[in-house]
Amino acid sequence: MSDRHLMHSIARLVPPGSRVLDLGCGDGALLDFLKRERGCSGYGVELADANVLACLQRGVDVIQLNLDEGLAMFDDDSFDVVLQIDTLQHLRNTETMLVETARVGRVGIVAFPNFAHWPNRLAVLGGRMPVTRRLPYQWYDTPNIRVGTFKDFEALATKNRLAILDAFGMQDGQELRFLPNARASTAVFRFERA
């Protein structure tokens, strides 16, 4: 995870000593931070060989798994917290993985690029897909197979009977709670089964 401010905001949502599952953990930086700063334990799940190696080099326990295959290997409530930080938008089975996140963890935390951020809206209004610091790819080479907004996630959570415990946007290192759908490039949600 490259954004230090986002890492600290996510960490604040994770109770000290939690057992954590980090889905799409990348190089393991967030899980390593949670272990060191919050006394957490747990596993990362990652597909990319280079990221699995980086996790191992950090001392982060990692399982190499394609998340499109689901989380059947984990029992209900196996973890206190399940993270999907910049993962949801890459999954083909987004809704299934959201429900699985709530099944496997007592609490889920997701963060993803908010497509409704005002610069994105202006780009679309001008006839082009946005290219920003948060969405740095052209429409034809993006790894994101889904685009969503703060409001879209609220609707998806409601549809799947998930109770949102906390929600805010992140922009330029600041947590935004007033009009985050328009003002923030990143949406962050903490939720549980209703």
Has residue 163 got a pLDDT over 70? yes
Residues 133-153, mean pLDDT to the nearest whole number: 87
pLDDT at 3: 82
Sign of CA dihedral 43, 44, 48, 50: negative
Rounded distance, CA 7 to CA 1, Å? Answer: 7
CA torsion 80-85-89-91 (nearest 10°) is -50
Residues 138-160, mean pLDDT to the nearest whole number: 90
- pLDDT category at 155 given cuts 50, 70, 90 is very high
pLDDT at 1: 52
- Number of CB atoms found within 10 A of residue 33's CB: 19
Residues 58-71, mean pLDDT to the nearest whole number: 93
Work out the mean pLDDT of the chain and round it to a whole number. Answer: 93
pLDDT at 69: 86
pLDDT at 146: 85
Domains, in order of start, for the chain: 4-193 (3.40.50.150)
Has residue 15 got a pLDDT over 70? yes
User: Structure pTM?
Assistant: 0.93
